[in-house]
Structure 1
Amino acid sequence: MVKKMISLLGVKRKIVTTSLVLASIASGATTALAGITTPTSTLNSIVITSGNYAWLGDATSQYNCLAYALGNYSSWVWPWGSNNPTSTQVDTYLYGKGFITSKPIDSYDVAAYEIISYGSSSSITHFSRIAAGGYSNAKWGQLERLQSYGWQPYKPTPYGPGVRKYAH
């Protein structure tokens, strides 16, 4: 029974990875894994499911996750200095940019919502863009811009679970 479950998990992982690769190519990634320069061990340490990422853009320190979520590819945006903001601080900042919050993070209403915040209500650590088909696209710090399947792809550290969604 245990061997059968392990075998099924391996098949499921291959299906998820294959689906991610095909969907990311269809949604704009030139190739799913080409372009990734960060070691897979580093990337896999961030996501819950190993391999749940596909290349969308090169690693750069020119912009970060919040800048990318806002459509800015030319500057680092983190208005809270060296601190992580609370959800309330993020709500206020994004409201000033024309965004409103959120339905429950599990609601797959892609037509209305564009950005997801991650971390905890007392410490937001990351942002992504909502993509069609249940995918999320994000700039991982100074690493690559990557696509992941699902809106909850990250381990508790460094990014954590989704906290809120924002509509423009």
Structure 2
Amino acid sequence: MGKNFHAEHFVCVECGKPFGPEGYHEKDGQPYCKTDYFRLFAPKCRGCDKPVQARFLTALNSPWHPECFVCQDCNRPFNGNQFFEIGGVPYCEQHYHERRGSVCGACRQPINGKCVGALGQRFHPEHFCCTQCNRQLTSRNFKDHNNQALCQKCYEKINPSFRIVEP
């Protein structure tokens, strides 16, 4: 640092402890031990808020320890580097779709394309079927019977007084 010190006076300006074999780090002309230097000046991991010192990755405009960059719901690492983001927070595909309400009401898998909205849920088109005969339905051709989707024929079997008479 271009100055002379007594050995007992060359200490960390933050904690006052002498420097060990790791030496010191300088910031604005002041010596710091490694622990205090990284605590005060190193970028912080977005996941754990601890200093990033060596290995890290950058995602969502922030540094992360690799072990901290996980789905915020299930804490699992991301497969194949694919993650989904809501409000600056990373999620796996399943939890992203669950939070967005885009999980099929039948198979519980994410819906990434067309869907049918019915009975307060969303469905893959091929999974929205009559609960009695398993015929595929649409949002326009089903009858709601106690929160179950039925085709016209199955609905008429359960409710014989309800018949559509065509002219």
TM-score, scaled relative to structure 2:
0.20
Which structure shows the bigger proportion of residues in strand conformation? 1
Structure ranking higher on relative contact order (CA contacts 8 Å, 6+ apart): 1
Larger radius of gyration: 2
